Homo-oligomer: A and B are copies of this chain.
Amino acid sequence: MEYKYAKRMSSVTASEIRELLKLTEQPEVISFAGGLPAPELFPIEEIKTVNNYVLDHNGEHALQYATTEGYQPLREWIAKRMNTRLGTSFCDENILITHGSQQALDLSGKVFLDEGDVVLCESPTYLAALSAFKAYSCKFAEIPTDDSGMIMSELEKALEKYPTAKLIYVIPDFQNPTGRTWSLERRQQLAEISAKYNVAVLEDNPYGELRYEGDFLPSVKSLDKAGNVLCTGTFSKIFCPGYRIGWIAGEKEVIRKYVLVKQGVDLQCNTIAQMVISAYLEKYDMDAHIDKIREVYRKRRDTAIKAIRSAFPSDITFTKPEGGLFLWIELNEKIDTTRLLEKCLEHNVAFVPGTSFFPNTKKCNTLRINFSNMPEDKISEGIMRIGRALNEFTE
Residue from the set A4, A61, A200, A273 with the largest chain B CB neighbour count within 10 Å: A4
Tell whether, in the assembled complex, residue A65 and residue B36 are in contact, meaning their CB atoms are under 8 Å apart.
yes
Instruction: Please give the residue numbers on chain A whose beta carbons come within 8 Å of chain B beta carbons, in ascending order.
Output: 1-9, 12-14, 34, 36-37, 39-40, 42, 44, 47-48, 51-52, 55-56, 59-66, 99-100, 102-103, 106, 110-115, 117, 128, 131-132, 134-136, 164, 166, 195, 198-200, 226-228, 236, 240-244, 253-254, 256-257, 260-261, 263-273
Tell whether, in the assembled complex, residue A253 and residue B3 are in contact, meaning their CB atoms are under 8 Å apart.
yes
Tell whether, in the assembled complex, residue B64 and residue A261 are in contact, meaning their CB atoms are under 8 Å apart.
no
How many angstroms from the CA of A111 to the CA of B65 in the assembled complex? Answer: 27
How many angstroms from the CA of A195 to the CA of B47 in the assembled complex? Answer: 50
Tell whether, in the assembled complex, residue A132 and residue B265 are in contact, meaning their CB atoms are under 8 Å apart.
yes
- When distances are taken between beta carbons in the complex, the residues of chain B under 8 Å from A5 are 111-112, 257
Tell whether, in the assembled complex, residue A7 and residue B114 are in contact, meaning their CB atoms are under 8 Å apart.
yes
- When distances are taken between beta carbons in the complex, the residues of chain B under 8 Å from A13 are 260
How many angstroms from the CA of A51 to the CA of B120 in the assembled complex? Answer: 43
Tell whether, in the assembled complex, residue B6 and residue A111 are in contact, meaning their CB atoms are under 8 Å apart.
yes
How many angstroms from the CA of A136 to the CA of B113 in the assembled complex? Answer: 12
- When distances are taken between beta carbons in the complex, the residues of chain B under 8 Å from A8 are 110, 114
Partner of A266, one of B14, B34, B102, B134: B102
- When distances are taken between beta carbons in the complex, the residues of chain B under 8 Å from A106 are 264-266
Taking A64-B240, A270-B273 as given, write out 19 further A-B residue pairs in contact, using a Cβ cutoff of 8 Å, ordered by the A residue number. A1-B200, A3-B112, A3-B257, A4-B112, A4-B166, A5-B257, A8-B110, A12-B257, A12-B261, A14-B256, A36-B64, A37-B64, A42-B63, A44-B55, A44-B60, A106-B265, A128-B264, A134-B264, A244-B267
Q: How far is the CB of A232 from chain B (nearest CB, A)?
A: 13
How many angstroms from the CA of A102 to the CA of B6 in the assembled complex? Answer: 19
How many angstroms from the CA of A301 to the CA of B180 in the assembled complex? Answer: 61
Tell whether, in the assembled complex, residue A63 and residue B36 are in contact, meaning their CB atoms are under 8 Å apart.
no
- When distances are taken between beta carbons in the complex, the residues of chain B under 8 Å from A265 are 102-103, 106, 132, 135
Tell whether, in the assembled complex, residue A260 and residue B63 are in contact, meaning their CB atoms are under 8 Å apart.
no
Partner of A60, one of B42, B134, B164, B228: B42
3 tightest CB-CB pairs across the interface, nearest first? A131-B264, A242-B271, A39-B60
Partner of A132, one of B4, B240, B264: B264
How many angstroms from the CA of A301 to the CA of B101 in the assembled complex? Answer: 41
How many angstroms from the CA of A254 to the CA of B242 in the assembled complex? Answer: 26
- When distances are taken between beta carbons in the complex, the residues of chain B under 8 Å from A266 are 99-100, 102-103, 106, 244
- When distances are taken between beta carbons in the complex, the residues of chain B under 8 Å from A253 are 3
Closest to A8 in B: B110
Partner of A242, one of B42, B65, B198, B242: B65
- When distances are taken between beta carbons in the complex, the residues of chain B under 8 Å from A269 are 244
- When distances are taken between beta carbons in the complex, the residues of chain B under 8 Å from A242 are 62-66, 270-272
Partner of A270, one of B37, B115, B243: B243
How many angstroms from the CA of A3 to the CA of B200 in the assembled complex? Answer: 7
Closest to A131 in B: B264
Partner of A257, one of B9, B52, B254: B9
Tell whether, in the assembled complex, residue A268 and residue B243 are in contact, meaning their CB atoms are under 8 Å apart.
no
Sample 26 A-B pairs with CB under 8 A, ordered by A number.
A1-B198, A1-B200, A1-B228, A5-B112, A6-B113, A9-B261, A12-B260, A12-B261, A39-B61, A42-B63, A44-B55, A47-B55, A48-B51, A48-B56, A62-B242, A63-B240, A63-B241, A65-B242, A99-B266, A102-B266, A103-B266, A106-B265, A128-B263, A128-B267, A244-B266, A244-B267
